[in-house]
Copies of this chain bind each other. A is one copy, B any other.
Amino acid sequence: MEKTDVLVIGGSAAGVVAATTGKTNYPEKEFMVIRKQSPVLVPCGIPYIFGSLKSMDKNIMPDSMLTNADIKLQIGEVASVDKENKICKTTAGLEIKWEKLVLATGSNPITPQWLKGANQENVFTISKEKDYLDNLQRCLPNFQKVVVIGGGFIGVEIADEINKLDKEVTVVEILPHVLGLAFDEEIAVKAQELLISRGVKIKTGAGVKEIMGDGKASGVLLNNGEKVEADAVILSMGYSPNTKLAQGAGLSVNRLGAIRVDEYMRTPDDPNIFAVGDCAEKRHFITRKVNNVMLASTGGAEARTAGMNLYHISSVKAFLGTIAIFSTAFGDRGFGAAGITEREALREGVDIITGAFEGIDRHPGTQPGTNKQFVKVIAARECGLILGGEVAGGPGTGELINLIGLAIQNKMNICSILTSQIGTHPLLTAPPTAYPFIKAAEVASRKFCHQ
């Protein structure tokens, strides 16, 4: 029987971060990560394998992140968790004894049961398994017309990448716009128009009835009767938490199928078992509702929280709910969101004010490479607390949405933005006279002050 102090099941981003943070905080403890696959793909890099990186080998998570940190790496599939005796057993019969267990078992792409024709040849999902994606990449040259069902961020990223291969790509989305859950309409429209200008075809407000074909996909039949021809169909219709192991161990899951956890990422059933990443329960930072956000930003913070709280609980190192912060990019244009959208706030009965401003992301605007930069801020009407933000801009978008995310998580008020010192530089940022985040906060603050 193997023995370790801390066993982490799952070697993707959340598992690795839980293990490395844990080892950093408890260097005297032994850590082991067990995972099925060898090697593991960088999860957020998966869409970029197809058009930008070209090779799967360029998107591998280095094992050195674990081995350099003196964390043991075990390849194997855990078949069962015995929480009474604190033992895991692998499919190969290996037993591993642990003190603390971290479940980072991730999620699986959804293939809806109701979708007729989804099990035909040339219908794919965006799995995180290397073997599966190797096969997809091998098959891609045979396809000219590709339909992506689902215009969430993975769907549009895959579509934009495959479009780079000079194929005819159509995204089919049931909402009025692609990225329509992450963004309010005005930002989603910008992303959609950009994708169209890059050559991606988009059909919105379009539900899918079935995938046509006689064993091999030949097209997609929409609810409105329209048929879209396809040599291949990619399903990007969401992911479900992978909790078979947890449920087998008697750990409770919520109504969305995710492993229940507290603010320290401990399962309520057993304080020695933690869950992090896509398999773990999510709660919205603002609405406090349970949701199914699956993002590296959330999973990474959860994993760090678990790693720090494995043996001692620290009240200042708790995970207080997901702000669903994320960013994406098409070419040199970036899009990002954090916190609550205006639409979500209105639906949930949060009384808000908003402000938006469009400027430029370099200055003067004559600088080569200048992009428009649009920023929207959402704040509480009663007190000016910053609740959400959205950005459409250039390469600085990723860090700008992180700045807004930091303001949300630290419960900052728009007044503190109005007096903020913001570094600006011709080649890197908007001008000091019209920094869009501050201008948007100014617009919002006038509604707050004058109510």
- Chain A interface residues toward B at CB < 8 A: 13, 16-17, 20-21, 24, 42, 44-45, 48, 52-53, 58-61, 65, 295-301, 304-305, 308, 314, 316-320, 322-323, 325-329, 334, 336, 338, 363-364, 366-368, 395-403, 405-407, 409-410, 412-413, 415-416, 418-429, 431-435, 438, 442, 446
Contacts and interface: CB of A to CB of B under 8 A. Distances in A.
A53 B402 contact: no
Contacts of A323: 421
Contacts of A368: 52
User: Quick one: copies of this chain in the complex?
Assistant: 2
Nearest to A446: B24
8 contacts: A21-B442, A24-B442, A300-B435, A317-B419, A320-B419, A322-B421, A397-B428, A405-B423
A398 to B, nearest CB: 3
Contacts of A301: 419-422
Contacts of A65: 433-434
Contacts of A412: 406, 410
A176 to B, nearest CB: 24
B296 A395 contact: no
A41 to B, nearest CB: 9
Contacts of A423: 295, 297, 325-327, 336, 338, 398, 401-402, 405
A21 B308 CA distance: 44
A11 B232 CA distance: 60
Contact of A433 (B61, B317, B363, B403): B61
